[in-house]
């Protein structure tokens, strides 16, 4: 092991830091080796109390202006103001929507890169990307305003797939900057929801414009009305969920394949001491797809054997993990907070990173081991000399991937003696999506959401929860995710999960059909057993939260549960959120009609009026609203109480006979 430069100021208590046996073991291992991790830094550095409450304004050089709440709360008029006169509500709303801008930008730029590569693939300008799922392309083309048939001599024929791909690609790329009109994907939402958005004036025009406008409005001395600021925040968040993210998911599926259920493992124990271990970490699957193909090639497997290994073990961290898991069964090695620990195993021969959620400290940790840390994205470099930058380019994607895999193989022989891979890993079934839920719950013959709706109406399934998002070193790693999910499924609420929450669920064995008998209430257990699905369905990465929006829309369309997403017995949760992307996701869920509960804290406590706007008034506008509850059991029961309230409003609060709508009813609601 190379000389350790970092000195651990205060050591984290491993048992208090995480519920995972693997994580606890590796925290102790890191401390034994003198390698500092995020868990130790979280003990040393405390968050700023004013910043946490959202009431520090640093948008001009007269500040930062800090507006702490008076000790005895606000009595009478709130007279707090910054140098320019900005109130706590204005400052808090500005900070909040700047987080939305950051999150929407990250998701949407990912989507843009996918769309650009998709168009190049459609035009035949790149060799390594193809249209892998023409069925999905035909299915989505109409949403992009692209015809899938042509009429020739009075005969209607299927349009050439490449022609469709080019047309979809051109329209998709234009969504980021078209001068007029509004985003095409908005039309995929239930009509009543589209009507609400129109009434509130929040239909996104193009993706980039909504993000730029947030930066303008929050510049010193522009928008000073917290409601008007939030209007723009909502519009930008919709440009993320129903725009950049949705396009990203669509086109990734078309290029790389639409996920379908598959078996895999999860946790740090997926690394192998006799294999070349390569970890892909970050978000965009453009490169990781190529690395999967390279690592599976016989030529490189043989090369790894020549170098003394038994083969190549690919694994993932963060949402790249979810992307390659969903489509190839590549196991996730861990969540966001386990990224340093993967290197500390001493068995990671290369960690390949692109964008988002990548600790700068990885370079310091990699210095202590033999791991080659490789950055690949032009917008995300590290300044440290031990970090290799191999800039990925879609025009020579496979060449880049082969080069990277070879570097990892060549590095295998440099492993030190300090290898310690935790034994822990779990099995999981991942790879769910709108299409596979349809297939599994409706069957290949009916192929629809009727069965799911039927089971919600008859009460076997009490409701649907989306549990998503990050880890946060300020909370006990994975504890909130797992306790909330277990409490929900115990109460017959089926869980759809993405992001690091999904990785956590997989690591804790909740994504298997067998877990239903152990953890679920009798109704959900019966459904899972009959249909053969896990009670926790892994829907992919954070960009794939768009799949949850579309699944909810399919449930509305199937009928019997109201006319809009806000009518459904459903709720959302981000128990351990930390990223700006989570705030953007939260807001587009709220604006799509979902009661959305965050754990840890919300950065709005310092502006009670603005907080009330998010937590209460927003429901009158969109049918969804924010809430926050750090206690996992109370958190789950807030969601369950909301689900029960919706069941009561729908008149299905007591088990009753099937009351599904027929085609005429659905047409009357404008859903066909």
Site string for ligand BF8, 279-298 (x = CB under 6 A): ----x---------------
Which residue(s) pair with 454 in the sheet? Answer: none
With CB under 6 A as the contact rule, the residue among 334, 469, 586, 632 that binds ligand BF8 is 469
Is residue 540 part of the contact set for ligand BF8 (CB under 6 A)? no
Residue 396 tokens, joined: 């020579």
Start-to-end Cα distance in the chain: 64
DSSP per-residue letters across 375-432: E-BTTB----TTEEE----GGGHHHHHHHHHHHHHHHGGG--S--------EEEEE--
Least distance from C-beta 536 to ligand BF8, angstroms?
16
Residue 612 tokens, joined: 């009330």
The answer to whether the beta carbons of residues 331 and 270 sit under 8 Å apart is yes
With CB under 6 A as the contact rule, the residue among 94, 415, 486, 581 that binds ligand BF8 is 581
Least distance from C-beta 42 to ligand BF8, angstroms?
15
DSSP per-residue letters across 291-338: HHHHHT-HHHHHHHHHTT-S-EEEEEEHHHHHHHHHHH-PPEEE-GGG
Please list every residue from 355 through 414 that binds ligand BF8, using CB under 6 A.
357
Cα-based angle 404, 406, 412 (whole degrees, multiple of 5): 110
Whole-angstrom Cα distance, residue 29 to residue 568?
A: 47
Please list every residue from 56 through 75 that binds ligand BF8, using CB under 6 A.
none
Residue labelled with tokens 């003198």? 34
Residue labelled with tokens 């310092």? 606
Please list every residue from 582 through 601 that binds ligand BF8, using CB under 6 A.
none
Is residue 470 part of the contact set for ligand BF8 (CB under 6 A)? yes
Output 86 or 355, the one with its CB closest to ligand BF8: 355
With CB under 6 A as the contact rule, the residue among 292, 319, 404, 421 that binds ligand BF8 is 319
Least distance from C-beta 472 to ligand BF8, angstroms?
8
The answer to whether the beta carbons of residues 276 and 300 sit under 8 Å apart is no
Bin 492: left if φ > 0, else alpha if -120 < ψ < 50, else beta: left
Is residue 336 part of the contact set for ligand BF8 (CB under 6 A)? yes
DSSP per-residue letters across 158-218: EPPHHHHHHHHHHHHHHTTT-SSS--GGGGGS-HHHHHHHHHHT---S-HHHHHHHHHHHT
Output 29 or 281, the one with its CB closest to ligand BF8: 281
Q: Is the peptide bond before 64 cis (omega within 30 degrees of 0)?
A: yes
**Please, which residues have CB within 8 angstroms of residue 602's CB and are 6 or more apart in sequence?**
611, 614, 626, 628
Whole-angstrom Cα distance, residue 406 to residue 343?
A: 18
Site string for ligand BF8, 186-205 (x = CB under 6 A): --------------------
How many residues touch ligand BF8 (CB under 6 A)?
13
Is residue 493 part of the contact set for ligand BF8 (CB under 6 A)? no
DSSP per-residue letters across 55-100: -EE-SSTT--EE-PPPTT---SS---B-TT--BHHHHHHHHHHHHH
Output 256 or 412, the one with its CB closest to ligand BF8: 256
Is residue 579 part of the contact set for ligand BF8 (CB under 6 A)? yes
Least distance from C-beta 336 to ligand BF8, angstroms?
4
Whole-angstrom Cα distance, residue 520 to residue 87?
A: 47
Output 87 or 501, the one with its CB closest to ligand BF8: 501
Least distance from C-beta 599 to ligand BF8, angstroms?
13
**Antiparallel, parallel or unpaired: β 350-353 and 332-334:** unpaired
Residue 205 tokens, joined: 């025009």
Whole-angstrom Cα distance, residue 347 to residue 274?
A: 9
Output 318 or 441, the one with its CB closest to ligand BF8: 318
Least distance from C-beta 339 to ligand BF8, angstroms?
9
Whole-angstrom Cα distance, residue 37 to residue 18?
A: 13
Site string for ligand BF8, 497-536 (x = CB under 6 A): --xx------------------------------------
**Longest Cα separation, the chain:** 80
Phi/psi of residue 299, nearest 5 degrees: -60, -45
Output 581 or 611, the one with its CB closest to ligand BF8: 581
With CB under 6 A as the contact rule, the residue among 114, 207, 279, 318 that binds ligand BF8 is 318
Site string for ligand BF8, 24-63 (x = CB under 6 A): ----------------------------------------
Least distance from C-beta 316 to ligand BF8, angstroms?
10
Whole-angstrom Cα distance, residue 652 to residue 610?
A: 34
Least distance from C-beta 362 to ligand BF8, angstroms?
14
The answer to whether the beta carbons of residues 186 and 205 sit under 8 Å apart is no
In 205-300 the beta strands, taken as DSSP E runs, fall at 262-266, 276-281
Least distance from C-beta 294 to ligand BF8, angstroms?
23
Least distance from C-beta 46 to ligand BF8, angstroms?
21
Least distance from C-beta 523 to ligand BF8, angstroms?
29
Output 542 or 565, the one with its CB closest to ligand BF8: 542
Whole-angstrom Cα distance, residue 497 to residue 466?
A: 6
Give the footprint of ligand BF8 on this chain (CB under 6 A).
Answer: 283, 318-319, 336, 357, 469-470, 499-500, 541-542, 579, 581
């Amino acid at each position: 092991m190379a000389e350790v430069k970092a000195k651990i100021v205060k050591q984290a208590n491993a048992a208090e830091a995480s519920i995972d046996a693997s994580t606890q073991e590796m925290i102790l291992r890191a401390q034994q080796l003198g390698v500092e991790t995020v868990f130790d830094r979280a003990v040393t550095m405390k968050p700023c109390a004013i910043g946490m409450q959202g009431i520090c304004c640093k948008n001009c050089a007269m500040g930062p202006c800090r507006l702490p709440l008076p000790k005895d709360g606000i009595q009478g008029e709130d007279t707090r103001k910054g140098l320019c006169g900005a109130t706590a509500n204005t400052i808090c709303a500005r900070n909040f929507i700047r987080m939305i801008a950051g999150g929407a930008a990250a998701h949407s730029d990912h989507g843009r890169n996918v769309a650009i590569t998709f168009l190049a693939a459609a035009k035949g300008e790149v060799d390594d990307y193809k249209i892998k799922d023409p069925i999905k392309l035909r299915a989505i083309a109409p949403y992009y305003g692209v015809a899938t048939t042509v009429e020739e001599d009075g005969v209607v024929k299927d349009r050439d797939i490449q022609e469709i791909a080019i047309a979809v690609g051109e329209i998709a790329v234009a969504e980021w900057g078209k001068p007029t009109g509004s985003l095409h994907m908005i039309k995929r939402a239930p009509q009543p929801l589209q009507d609400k958005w129109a009434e509130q004036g929040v239909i996104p025009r193009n993706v980039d414009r909504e993000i730029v406008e947030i930066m303008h409005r929050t510049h010193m001395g522009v928008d000073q009305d917290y409601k008007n600021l939030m209007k723009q925040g909502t519009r930008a968040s919709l440009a993320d969920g129903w725009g950049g993210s949705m396009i990203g998911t669509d086109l990734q599926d078309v290029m790389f394949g639409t996920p379908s259920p598959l078996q895999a493992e999860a946790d740090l124990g997926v690394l192998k001491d006799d294999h070349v271990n390569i970890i892909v970490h970050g978000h965009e699957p453009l490169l990781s797809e190529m690395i999967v193909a390279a690592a599976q090639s016989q030529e490189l497997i043989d090369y790894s054997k020549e170098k003394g290994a038994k083969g190549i073990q690919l694994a993932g961290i963060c949402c790249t993990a979810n992307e390659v898991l969903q489509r190839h069964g590549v196991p996730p090695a861990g969540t966001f907070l386990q990224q340093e620990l993967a290197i500390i195993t001493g068995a990671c021969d290369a960690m390949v990173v692109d964008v988002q959620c990548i600790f700068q400290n990885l370079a310091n940790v990699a210095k202590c081991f033999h791991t080659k840390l490789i950055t690949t994205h032009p917008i995300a470099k590290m300044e440290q000399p031990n970090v290799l930058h191999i800039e990925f380019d879609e025009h020579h994607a496979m060449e880049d991937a082969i080069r990277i895999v070879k570097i990892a193989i060549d590095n295998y022989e440099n492993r030190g003696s300090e290898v310690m891979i935790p034994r822990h890993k779990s099995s999981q079934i991942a790879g769910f999506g709108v299409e596979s839920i349809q297939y599994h719950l409706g069957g290949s013959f009916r192929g629809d959401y009727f069965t799911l709706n039927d089971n919600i109406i008859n009460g076997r399934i009490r409701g649907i929860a989306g549990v998503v998002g990050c880890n946060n070193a300020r909370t006990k790693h994975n504890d909130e995710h797992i306790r909330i999910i277990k409490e929900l499924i115990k109460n017959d609420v089926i869980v759809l999960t993405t992001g690091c929450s999904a990785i956590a669920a997989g690591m804790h064995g909740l994504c298997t059909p067998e877990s239903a008998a152990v953890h679920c209430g009798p109704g959900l257990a019966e459904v899972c057993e009959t249909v053969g699905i896990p009670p926790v369905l892994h829907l992919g990465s954070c960009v794939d939260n768009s799949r949850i929006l579309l699944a909810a829309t399919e449930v509305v369309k199937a009928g019997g549960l109201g006319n809009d997403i806000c009518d459904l017995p459903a709720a959302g949760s981000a128990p351990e959120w930390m990223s700006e992307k989570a705030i953007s996701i939260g807001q587009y869920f709220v604006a799509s009609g979902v009661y959305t509960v965050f754990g840890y804290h919300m950065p709005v406590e310092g502006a009670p009026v603005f907080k009330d706007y998010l937590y209460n008034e927003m429901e009158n506008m969109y049918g969804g609203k924010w809430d926050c509850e750090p206690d996992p059991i109370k958190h789950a029961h807030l969601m369950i109480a909301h689900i029960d309230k919706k069941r009561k409003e729908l008149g299905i609060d007591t088990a009753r006979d099937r009351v599904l709508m027929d085609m005429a009813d659905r047409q009357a609601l404008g859903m066909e």
